[in-house]
Chain A
Amino acid sequence: MSDTDTKIPKVETIEPVSLPDQTMAPSARLELTPAPTRGIVLRTRGAHALAPVIDIDRLYDAFPGTSSQIVTALELLKHASDNLAAAQKSDSAMEADRFVQRVQLTLPKLFACRSIGDGFGVIINSIHFAFTNLHGTPLTPGQLNVVWRALRELRARPAMPVEQGIQLAGELEAQGLEVDPPELGDLLERSEPAEDE
């Protein structure tokens, strides 16, 4: 695969400064002596669409101690999904609830990372309000599974668009989780009789 190109299509006017190819590296391709392959195309490197997508941890690989919002978010999401996975496997309801409570504790920190993407904010908000609206009632196995899947999906695609976030919030609702703020529910209830009148 060739290197990151720096060329800009040639401007058809007299350029004020013209620098030779070597310094500007406009083509940026190594001009190696070509070797005939007799019709066999050998690919030793390069991306192709059928290959699996990049590992998210490698995409945002950073030096230890780097203050990066996305690195923080990925770590928190990993802890959260690990805890939910542990809760799913747990035989004890008490122990499972402890794992879920740990997930709840990470939500404010994840909320602070919401600028990563619009979909990110929607999912974290939805899960936060889902827990709030449960008023301490433990999650059912189905609800546990859907929250786990939502967080895993968010970790794999942290920059997802708002539409995808709304779709995942819909999946949470389908499992009986109320993802809207309680105040919004009150407002809607109050507005409904007024509309009827």
Chain B
Amino acid sequence: MPSLTIDDFKPFSVTCELRYKSAYLIYDRTGQVLEDLRDKFTDITVSTASPAQTAFMADEGTFALELGACRFTSSRFDNKNAETFAKHCAAFFHAVTSQLQINVFTRIGLRYIARKEFKTLDESKAALASMTLANLKPTKRFNSSESPTEVIFRWEDGQIGAYVRLRAETTEIKFPSAPELQDYVPKVDKKLHGLTLDIDYYTVAPVEREQWNSLEWLQQKIRIVRKEADGILHGVK
């Protein structure tokens, strides 16, 4: 089986998350955060709201604001629009950190999830097995399958950490159409087989707000994530 590259994987979702000590101003200023975001994301709407957790949706992506974390997720990420993603994150995080007066981040994480589809689950498993990511000989272990269906790595020191997960899996998409809409909207029941590449690149040591330029950091880290993932898929480095 020819070796895979990062370009074989289609980005599924990309998330940037900030964590911080409980920001109690969330109880007073969530509405102000939304007002600030309306300037940048004109069609933004609230999808769920509770005092300590609010979710917003816009054409650009989804936003979550919580007592101890906030995150922006884009499901339309294209490798060519990393700058756009970074700009959306920067706008969101600026609104949150300014309104909630957050000065230290306990963790900054970038999560990149991508998928490569195969015709069958067995093909996905074979692709994963062909990478020989771990030094284990293919033999039946724990009275289960010969080759692992999921491989997880984590690298971490006192400053930076990274987590990589590769999993052969089947995804089910189900859309149960309402009875009165069945003539207009067809029911969807589909199974997709593939290999999921899930990478989390994060800071371990606290980061001061004055240290972090989100625009620069995100673009730089997206490049690192893709380059390192490519190296892992090729079995180099």
Please determine whether B207 and A53 come into contact, CB atoms closer than 8 angstroms. Answer: yes
Please determine whether A54 and B17 come into contact, CB atoms closer than 8 angstroms. Answer: no
The reply to whether the CB of A184 lies closer than 8 angstroms to some CB of chain B is no
Report the Cα distance A117→B215, complex, angstroms.
11
The reply to whether the CB of A49 lies closer than 8 angstroms to some CB of chain B is yes
Q: Which A residues between 10 and 65 are near B, CB-CB below 8 angstroms?
A: 10-12, 14, 16-20, 22-25, 28, 30, 45-49, 51-56, 58-63
Please determine whether B211 and A54 come into contact, CB atoms closer than 8 angstroms. Answer: yes
Closest to A160 in B: B210
Contact partner, B200, options A3, A12, A55, Cβ 8 Å: A3
For chain B, the count of residues having a C-beta within 8 Å of the partner chain is 65
| Binary flags per residue of B140-159, CB closer than 8 Å to A gives 1, else 0 | 00000000000010001011
Please determine whether A6 and B71 come into contact, CB atoms closer than 8 angstroms. Answer: yes
Chain A residues with CB under 8 Å of B227's CB are 63
Chain B residues with CB under 8 Å of A71's CB are 220
Please determine whether A6 and B73 come into contact, CB atoms closer than 8 angstroms. Answer: yes
The reply to whether the CB of B67 lies closer than 8 angstroms to some CB of chain A is no
Q: Could you list 18 A-B pairs, sorted by A, with CB under 8 Å?
A: A8-B73, A12-B48, A19-B172, A30-B152, A47-B204, A47-B206, A48-B206, A52-B205, A52-B206, A54-B159, A56-B211, A63-B224, A63-B227, A66-B223, A69-B216, A157-B208, A159-B210, A161-B210
State the A residues within 8 Å of B (CB): 1, 3-12, 14, 16-20, 22-25, 28, 30, 45-49, 51-56, 58-63, 66, 68-71, 116-117, 119, 156-161, 164
